[in-house]
C-alpha cells in the first residue's frame, strides 16, 4: 500500500474543490435540491468514494493534514455564538430543555436498540453500545476515547475499527436524512417560516439580491471573531483549571454569546457584526469547508469490514432515528416550522455530529426561510449537554452488562 500524504496547503485546495463539486452536483441534480442535501455532504461523500476506489483498486491511500479543518470548526462555532441574541436565548429556554430531555432519552433508546440487535444476531452485547450512542451520538471523538475500554475490559479486539466504521456510517447518513425529514414535515404540515424575509443565521439565500458585503464589514467581522476566539481560549483554560474539560469550540461558542450580549450595550457606535451578511458568509464558508474536509478524509474502506450483523444493527439505528425524529421530536418541539428545522438538525446530531446537524439546518433554511431558534438550541444541546449525558449513560449501560 502506497501512502500519499498531503500537507495543509494541498488539503485546503482539495477541500475547496470538493465543496465546489458539491455545489455543482446540487445545482444539476434535482434530488439533491429537493431534499436539501448539504453541498458539502454530496461533494464530500463522492470524494470519499473516489479515494476509497484509489485505496481498493490502485492501492493508493490518501492522507490529509486536517489542522485547518479543526480551526474552521472553532471559527464556525464562534460565529454561532456571535449570532446568539439574549432575547433568542431566553425564548429558547423551554424548547432547549424539551429537546435536551428528548435527546437524553434517545441516548437510552439508541443503546437499548444496539444491545437488542447485538443479542439477536449473536454479537457481544457491548458491541451494541459501540454501534449505539458511543459512535452515533458520540461521533469519532467519543469512539477514540472509549474504544480502549471496550477492547481491554470487554475483550472486543476490533473495538476501534467497529466504532470508527459506525461513526463514519452515522456521519454520512446523518447528513443525508436530515433534509428529506424536514421537507416531509414542512410539506405535510404546510409550514412556513415565522419571518420569511429574516436574514439567515448561516449563509445567504440563493435567490437573495442586493446583498452588501464590503471591505469594512468583512474586516470588522474577522476582528470580532478573533477577539471572541481569544476570550474562548481563556475560558477554556479557566474551565480546565477548575476540572471541567470543555472542547475548545464550546468555549468559543460561549465567548461569542457573552460578547454579543454585552459589548453592543456599552459600545453602541461600534458596528457589531451580528445579523450581517459578512458574518453569515464567514460562518457558511467555515462550515462548508469543515464538512467537505471531514467527509473527503473518511476511510470508507473500514465499512467493508463490517460484518452482516453490525451492518444490520446500523440500518436499524437509521430507521429508529427517522421514526423518533418524526413522531417524537417534531411533536414535542411544537409541530411548527422551527420544530421541522430542529428535526433536520437533530437527526444529523443523533447519527453524526453537531456540524452535520448545522449543515442540515442550513440547507433547509436556505430554501424555506430563517429559524434563529433552531441555530441556538441544537448547537447547545449537541456541543455541550449531550456529551456529558452520553458519558454517564454509556458507563451505566456497561455496568449493567457486566
pLDDT at 207: 52
| Statement to judge: residues 68 and 88 lie in one domain | yes
User: In which residue are the cell numbers 450581517 written?
Assistant: 276
Last residue of a domain, one of 273, 288, 303: 288
* Claim to verify: residue 82 and residue 223 sit in the same structural domain: no
Residue 382 pLDDT class (50, 70, 90 cuts): confident
Choose the final residue of a domain: 226, 260, 288: 288
Residue 211 falls inside a structural domain:
no
- Split at pLDDT 50, 70, 90, the class of 206 is low
DSSP state of 200: P
Domain co-membership, 306 together with 162: yes
Instruction: Name the pLDDT band for 334 (thresholds 50, 70, 90).
Output: very high
What is the pLDDT, as a whole number, of residue 208? 55
Q: Pick 185 or 269 by higher pLDDT.
A: 185
285 versus 77: the higher-pLDDT residue is 285
Among 389, 387, 348, 133, which Cα is nearest to 247's?
Answer: 387
**Shared domain check, 38 and 140:** yes
Tell me the mean pLDDT in the region 110-132: 92
Is residue 314 scored above 70 in pLDDT? yes
220 and 299 within one domain: no
186 in the same domain as 81: yes
Residue 298 and residue 188 share a domain: yes
220 is in which domain, residue-wise?
Answer: 216-288
pLDDT at 61: 93
State the cell numbers at 255. 465567548
Residue 161 lies in a domain: yes
Supply the mean pLDDT for the chain.
Answer: 87
Q: Domain tally for the chain?
A: 2
What number is the average pLDDT over the span 308-312? 84
∠ Cα 132 133 137 (to 5°): 125
Q: What is the mean pLDDT of residues 311-317?
A: 91
Alpha-carbon distance of 176 to 178, in angstroms, equals 6
Same domain, 149 and 275: no
Q: Which has the closest alpha carbon to 294: 59, 38, 53?
A: 38
Percentage with pLDDT > 90 across the chain: 45
What letters, b where the CB count within 10 A reaches 16 and e where it falls short, cover 35-54? bbbbbbbbbbbbbbeebbee
Per-residue model confidence as pLDDT tens digits over 148-200? 889 888 888 888 878 888 888 888 899 899 999 999 999 999 998 877 666 66
Position 226 pLDDT exceeds 90 = yes
In this structure, are 94 and 71 located in the same domain? yes
Percent of the chain clearing pLDDT 70 (strictly above): 92
Q: Report if pTM > 0.75.
A: yes
User: Residue 272: how many CB atoms within 10 A of its CB?
Assistant: 18
Q: Quick one: 265 exposed, middle or buried, by C-beta within 10 A (0-12, 13-18, 19+)?
A: exposed
Amino acid at each position: 500500500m502506497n501512502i500519499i500524504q498531503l500537507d495543509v496547503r494541498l488539503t485546503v485546495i482539495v477541500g475547496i474543490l470538493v465543496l465546489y463539486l458539491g455545489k455543482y452536483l446540487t445545482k444539476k441534480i434535482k434530488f439533491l435540491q429537493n431534499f436539501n442535501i448539504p453541498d458539502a455532504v454530496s461533494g464530500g461523500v463522492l470524494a470519499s468514494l473516489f479515494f476509497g476506489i484509489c485505496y481498493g483498486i490502485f492501492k493508493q491511500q490518501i492522507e490529509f493534514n486536517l489542522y485547518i479543518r479543526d480551526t474552521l470548526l472553532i471559527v464556525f462555532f464562534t460565529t454561532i455564538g456571535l449570532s446568539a441574541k439574549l432575547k433568542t436565548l431566553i425564548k429558547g429556554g423551554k424548547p432547549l430543555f424539551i429537546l435536551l430531555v428528548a435527546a437524553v432519552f434517545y441516548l437510552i433508546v439508541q443503546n437499548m436498540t444496539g444491545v437488542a440487535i447485538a443479542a439477536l444476531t449473536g454479537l457481544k452485547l457491548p458491541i451494541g453500545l459501540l454501534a449505539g450512542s458511543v459512535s452515533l451520538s458520540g461521533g469519532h471523538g467519543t469512539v477514540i476515547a472509549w474504544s480502549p475500554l471496550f477492547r481491554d475490559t470487554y475483550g472486543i479486539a476490533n473495538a476501534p475499527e467497529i466504532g470508527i466504521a459506525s461513526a463514519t456510517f452515522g456521519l454520512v447518513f446523518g447528513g443525508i436524512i436530515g433534509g428529506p425529514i424536514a421537507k416531509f414535515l414542512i410539506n405535510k404540515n404546510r409550514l412556513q417560516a415565522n419571518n420569511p424575509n429574516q436574514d439567515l443565521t448561516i449563509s445567504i439565500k440563493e435567490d437573495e439580491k442586493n446583498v452588501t458585503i464590503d471591505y469594512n464589514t468583512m474586516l470588522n467581522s474577522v476582528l470580532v471573531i478573533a477577539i471572541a476566539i481569544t476570550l474562548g481560549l481563556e475560558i477554556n483554560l479557566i474551565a480546565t483549571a477548575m476540572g471541567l474539560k470543555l472542547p475548545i469550540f464550546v468555549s468559543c461558542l460561549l465567548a461569542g454569546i457573552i460578547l454579543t450580549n454585552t459589548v453592543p450595550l456599552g459600545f453602541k457606535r461600534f458596528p457589531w457584526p451580528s445579523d450581517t451578511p459578512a458574518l453569515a458568509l464567514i460562518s457558511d464558508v467555515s462550515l462548508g469547508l469543515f464538512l467537505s474536509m471531514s467527509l473527503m478524509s473518511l476511510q470508507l474502506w473500514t465499512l467493508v469490514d463490517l460484518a452482516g450483523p453490525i451492518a444490520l444493527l446500523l440500518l436499524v439505528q437509521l430507521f429508529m432515528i427517522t421514526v423518533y425524529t418524526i413522531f417524537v421530536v417534531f411533536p414535542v418541539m411544537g409541530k411548527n416550522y422551527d420544530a421541522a428545522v430542529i428535526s433536520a438538525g437533530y437527526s444529523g446530531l443523533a447519527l453524526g455530529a453537531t456540524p452535520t446537524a448545522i449543515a442540515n439546518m442550513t440547507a433547509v433554511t436556505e430554501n424555506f426561510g430563517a429559524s434563529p431558534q433552531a441555530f441556538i438550541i441544537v448547537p447547545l444541546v449537541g456541543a455541550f449537554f449531550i456529551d456529558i449525558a452520553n458519558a454517564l449513560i454509556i458507563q451505566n449501560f456497561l455496568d449493567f452488562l457486566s
